[in-house]
Structure 1
């Protein structure tokens, strides 16, 4: 079973993503901050990270840059989970090292499209 770490400071967003991903057959874990996510990623193996962009403290772009800089994590699939859907925002997000973007509010179809790779 594939494992995904869902990172968002908003509990409702984490729970929604977790419920939808579980329906798709993924095992989910949750983290409520960038720092908690990075710590969890160094402790356990995941196939993917669904990472909120706007979080207090360490935002999603910084977490992604740290993942890409860590030799053990550099090849991990990282998907931005964000309400920032303007084209210039998407370009900036992708430049931070993300593999894909999932725009909130998430739907099962959008989630399936991003996680079918």
Structure 2
């Protein structure tokens, strides 16, 4: 269960945090500091999953997602929106706009890794939230 993860983020501290989280995993980290560079790196690297910051100058995460989804090679690639302004209602809106899920900042390491595993692991859902364990049977 390995693959490339592209993180498109203009904030270097946020970029470094995700890089550190992924360092001890089987995933290869690729970073891009802008939306345009992120699209270019996605086309070059063909990542298994894309983490995409919403608030970026020049081209925001929603526009980047739209441009990626317009490319045939990224119609099925999981794209997770990252934002400091995340609510349950917004999650559904982001999914309607082409994202597979939404992750709130500051990023919780365990939630991030579970979400990544859900999307690019063997039993990956296409969109929605992290699978919750079934209640114990009585």
TM-score w.r.t. length of structure 1: 0.92
User: 2:50 and 2:19 mapped to 1: Cα distance?
Assistant: 12
Corresponding residue for residue 21 of structure 1:
22
* 1:1-117 mapped onto 2 (5 Å cutoff): 1-117=2-118
Contact preservation (8 Å) 1:4, 1:29 = yes
Greater CA deviation, 66-75 or 28-37? 66-75
Q: Which runs of 4+ in 1 moved over 4 A?
A: none
What is the Cα-based RMSD across aligned positions, in Å? 1.3
For these two proteins, the number of residue pairs brought into alignment is 117
Runs of 5+ consecutive residues of structure 1 not aligned to the other structure: none
Q: CA deviation at 1:41?
A: 1.1
| SS of corresponding position for 1:116 | helix
Q: Which runs of 5+ in 2 are unaligned?
A: 119-138
The one-character-per-residue Cα deviations of 1:47-94 (angstroms, maximum 9, x if unpaired) are: 011000110111111111111111122111111111121234323222
CA contact under 8 A between 2:91 and 2:101: conserved in structure 1?
A: no
Contact 1:3–1:47 (8 Å) recurs in 2: yes
Bigger radius of gyration: 2
TM-aligned CA deviation for residue 107 of structure 1: 1.5
